[in-house]
Amino acid sequence: MAVRAVFFDLYETLITEFEKGKRISKRSYDYMNSLGLSEAEFKQEWRTRFERRMNGHFPDYHSVIRDILVSRSLPYPQEHVEFLYQSRVSEKKLPFNRISNEICRMLELLRKRGLKLGLISNCSKEEVISFWQSELAPYFDDVIFSYQVGIAKPNEEIYRLACERLSVTPQDSLFIGDGGSDELRGARSAGLRPYHAYWYNTFIESEYEKIHQPLHVLDLIESSIEMESPEP
């Protein structure tokens, strides 16, 4: 089948929070003085709420922190929580300020070929506040943030919803992501053709075909056109 749409993951596919293996934010939060929890305790509580943060069960950062503190019978220090929230927003803004020229060129060329472009991201609200002001936003025909639709990857429904919103079939569509959240398996289960974006982080392994440079996505499109072309 010819390719009509390409869907992308966001973090570590179109943007990255890392440089030379280290976080560009150099983040450091004092959870003990702010919330009364050690860093290890906070991370444990944060991780156990991952799915609920991604699927919109928690509407915002503040509600996650409130739930953590209630579970630990700790008070809710509003000023400290607001400071942590603003720090996290600033941290998540950084990757949107340093988008690769090659990523933008890839998206531009895909659009010139008449392909529809979609974004499917597992995220909470504060993680993507900066998306709409970034260079990425104008390239996309549709954007699905998991917290808004109440479904997260690798649930097949989020991929089917993305296809419906662009009026394409899964069989007509590629999904490209770094493999986090088992997203490539989910895409394949939904009927899309998954490819492993391997240009930022290389610690996730998968059985799927790797793409080592963003512009190599164009090679995939060329290959699909050649396969569809009738023999002379």
Q: Nearest CA to 4 among 134, 116, 88?
A: 116
Token code pair at residue 73: 């019978």
Alpha helix ranges (H) inside 94-138? 101-112
Strands 22-23 and 18-19: antiparallel
Q: Are residues 181 and 104 in the same domain?
A: yes
> Is the preceding omega at residue 232 within 30 degrees of 0, hence cis?
no
Same domain, 222 and 168: yes
- Full domain range(s) for residue 81: 22-94
Question: Which CATH number does the domain housing residue 15 bear?
Answer: 3.40.50.1000
Residues 56 and 146 in one domain: no
pTM above 0.85, yes or no: yes
**In a shared domain, residues 161 and 178:** yes
The answer on 124 and 158 residing in a single domain is yes
SS3 label, residue 225: helix
What percentage of the chain exceeds 90 in pLDDT?
91
CA distances from 224 to 10, 193, 198, 221 (A): 24, 11, 20, 5
Q: What is the pLDDT of residues 155-213, one digit of tens each?
A: 999 999 999 999 999 999 999 999 999 999 999 999 999 999 999 988 899 999 999 99
- Please check whether residues 119 and 197 belong to one and the same domain: yes
- The amino acid at residue 156 is E
Q: How many domains does the chain have?
A: 2
Q: Indicate the residue among 35, 65, 94 that finishes a domain.
A: 94
For residues 161 and 193, state if they share a domain: yes
| Together in a domain, 85 and 131 | no
What pLDDT digit, counting tens, does each position of 116-170 carry? 999 999 999 999 999 999 999 999 999 999 999 999 999 999 999 999 999 999 9
Same domain membership, residue 122 and residue 71: no
Is residue 29 domain-shared with residue 53, that is, in the same domain? yes
- Do 62 and 77 lie in one domain? The reply is yes
